Structure formats: structure tokens, C-alpha cells
Structure 1
Amino acid sequence: MQNRSNNGVFTVAIGSLRQPKIEAVKAAMAQIAPTLGCMPEQIDYQPHSVESDIADTPLSIAEMMQGASNRAHKLAARYRASDQAADYYIGMEGGIFEMPVADGQHAWYLQSWVYAFDGETGCYGSSPAVQFPVAIAREFGQVNFELAEVIARFGQQHNSRNQGGAFSLLTKDMLTRQAIFESAVLAAMAPFYHPELYGE
């Protein structure tokens, strides 16, 4: 795509103020910058607080995808309203979903989704999904439960959203929030850095 700025700087608008998510976007974009026509140091990252308009803890893949899309599109609308434009708008959403497994049983999984939007077209990408142990999954039947509170209680940690979070707890820090969002950003950006395959 064409760089929208006039000074050779690419602008990436990020729909979050949480540091692990910001660092995930930076790490992913640094890897793919040359294929986008710029160098990592030419990228201006602009984090914003933007609502997802969904539940605090999404309970399905569809809801996570919707939340990520909502954030990206609301960011784009905010820029348009101020007569500005970013090269990419990145919306991110994490949550849980339930699906059947062997022997008619069901299991709950943790996953994160990203929607990358260039103002005209967009694409979704997801992180790996990690299964919750039964001891944690049974909490999901509670009314108005908050995933961060459940994870904090099981992990004896505080403010888990700004630490390793649920992924770190489940995987003993093998997968962190930053790492999983980085993978999701790389997946969502694929059509932009591989246009030969996806088409212009």
C-alpha cells in the first residue's frame, strides 16, 4: 500500500494503551516493515484507548473477532473525523471460547484475535489457543465473572492484564500476552506484507 504520510513516516494506530499489546505490535511490525516499504525506525506508533463495544470477557471466537474489528474501525473513524489517516489501524481482543472435544466433552480455550485495517480493507488473525484446566474452566459458569480476577486468584498475582496474564499462567511463561498478540498481528497483516499471494 502507499504510505499516507508526507514525511516518509508510517503511522500505525493501536487500539490499546496496554504495554504488552503495544510491544506486540511493535515487534510484529519490525519484522515485516521492509516488505511494507519502510524500515522499523520509520514507523510512528500511536496507541489509543478505544472501546470494543462487547463484553469485558468475550465468550466466543465471533465475539473476539467483533471486538477487534470494532476497535480498528472506531480508530479509523476517529482519525477521519480529525482529517488524519494512519497507514494501519490495529484492533486487538482476547477472550475465551468453548468447543466440543473427545467423548462428547466440552473444553474452554483462551485465545486472542487481531484485526488489521488499512482504511479500505482488513483481515483477521489469531493467536494459538490454549485449553483451560477444569479447575479454572468451571469458574466460567459464574454470573458476571471476570477472567482477570479468576486468573489473579489462581495465579496469586495482581493486575494480571499488565503482567503475563492468563497465557503466562497456563503455559508457565512459555507464551506471554505480548508473544501471543505478536503472532496474531503477524497473521492479520499477512495480506498486506504478502500481496503477491493475496492480491493487491
Structure 2
Amino acid sequence: PGTEFELVGLEVDSGVSHTPLSHEELMRGARHRAEALVEVAQKSGLEWHYFVGLEGGLDIIHETASPHPTGQHSGLARGSRRRVLLESWAYVTDGARGHYGRSGGIELPEPLAHEVLENGTELAVAIDRFAGMVGIRDAQGAWGVLSGNLISRQEAFCLAVIAAFAPFYNQRMYRAEAVGASGLAS
């Protein structure tokens, strides 16, 4: 807040699958991208201050309380229900310390989840087919299609980046000594 930045966008490998299938894989991909940017800057002699890695994909959650059995994915237990959420993750580092942030999650309709998980179709391809459009990933993204354009892919990543930057711009709250037995330190 109150600071201006010059943004430089570079494409680097995530080190994870095209459509990550867990929050662990999403986190790993975002961090790998940011750390790859640190290496690029060091090798090029560039004095960048922050490095941001972004990764979007799916998180699969199994609700065990549901009385309605569904699907065959991952040995899904009888009586449990699979929920597949689209999430956007960010990892921000200054080269010494780093922090994660993520968007909210939006649930995929079961036919779309099935296409990605059981048929192995990349989400970008599956959402184009599902919506009957082309190039969704580079426009509003799956977020836009699923939310009726109330939240775009860019807005989901923006939230993730703001959250990942929080320990840098709100350092008072993230200091180890900030929280004591009697509450927040002044």
C-alpha cells in the first residue's frame, strides 16, 4: 500500500503438472516459479526486490459425511463425496523469506471435474469444451466461466498475491513477538 512497483513478467517452469491436483502441488508450483525468478535475477545481475510465483489448479476434498456416494476417483470411500475446487496460489519472496497466499475456491461442476480427473484432460482444454468457447484461460479463465464473470482469473490471482505480500507490507502483525499471552503487542 502506498508504494509503486515496476512489474516484469517472465514465464518460468512450475515443476508441477499442467493441472495441479492438491493444495500441496499448487504451493510447490508457485514457490518453484518464484525461486526460479530469483535465479534468473541473480544470473542476470538484476536487482529485483520481490519475486512472485503463481500457480492455479485444483484441490480435491472428500466429504465423508455425505450420504450420497459418487465417483471412482482416488479410491473414494463409499458414502463420501468428492468436491473439486479451483484455486489460485501465489508465493512471494524477497530472496530471503517467502510467504504464500491463495484465492478463495470455486467448486467445479462434477462433469468438468470428471473430464479433468478421470479422463486426464488439462483444465484449460476442458473448460473450453465445457463452456463451448476458445481461449478461456487467457481471457476470464475458468474462474470467470464458473462465477458467471463475477470473479475473473486475474482477480483470483490478485487476491492470492495481496495475501502473499501481507507479511511484507504488514510487518507489525507478522513479527514473532507481535502476539503475546495477553494479546497483540502495541
Which residue of the partner structure matches residue 14 of structure 2? 52
- For the residue of structure 1 that corresponds to 2:20, the secondary structure is coil
Which residue of the partner structure matches residue 185 of structure 1? 161
Tell me which of 39, 42, 45 is aligned to 1:83: 45
Aligned structure 1 segments of 4 or more residues deviating by more than 6 angstroms = none
Tell me which of 115, 120, 126 is aligned to 1:139: 115
CA displacement at 1:93 relative to structure 2: 0.2
Take 2:87 and 2:12, find their aligned partners in 1: how far apart are those partners? 20
Which residue of the partner structure matches residue 98 of structure 1? 60
Tell me which of 96, 100, 109 is aligned to 1:124: 100
Tell me which of 109, 112, 131 is aligned to 1:155: 131
Which residue of the partner structure matches residue 28 of structure 2? 66
CA displacement at 1:141 relative to structure 2: 3.1
TM, length-normalised to structure 1: 0.77
TM, length-normalised to structure 2: 0.83
- For the residue of structure 2 that corresponds to 1:115, the secondary structure is strand
Take 2:22 and 2:117, find their aligned partners in 1: how far apart are those partners? 14
Take 1:137 and 1:162, find their aligned partners in 2: how far apart are those partners? 20
Q: Does 1:168 align with 2:130?
A: no
* RMSD of Structure 2 on Structure 1 (CA): 1.3
Take 2:8 and 2:144, find their aligned partners in 1: how far apart are those partners? 26
CA displacement at 1:107 relative to structure 2: 1.1
Return 5+ residue gaps in structure 2 as ranges: 67-79, 177-186
CA displacement at 1:72 relative to structure 2: 0.3
- For the residue of structure 2 that corresponds to 1:45, the secondary structure is coil
Q: Write out per-residue CA displacement over residues 136-160 of structure 1, whole angstroms, 9 at most, x where no aligned residue.
A: 1221333431101110011111111
Letter paired with 1:55 = S
Take 2:92 and 2:41, find their aligned partners in 1: how far apart are those partners? 15
Q: Larger RCO: Structure 1 or Structure 2 (Cα < 8 Å, ≥ 6 residues apart)?
A: 1
CA displacement at 1:53 relative to structure 2: 1.2
Take 2:11 and 2:42, find their aligned partners in 1: how far apart are those partners? 16
- Whichever of the two has the greater Rg, that structure is 2
Return 5+ residue gaps in structure 1 as ranges: 1-31
Letter paired with 2:49 = D
CA displacement at 1:116 relative to structure 2: 0.5
The question of whether the paired residues in 2 share the 8 Å contact of 1:72 and 1:90 is answered with yes
Higher share of residues assigned helix: 1
Take 2:117 and 2:170, find their aligned partners in 1: how far apart are those partners? 42
Which residue of the partner structure matches residue 69 of structure 2? none
- For the residue of structure 2 that corresponds to 1:44, the secondary structure is coil
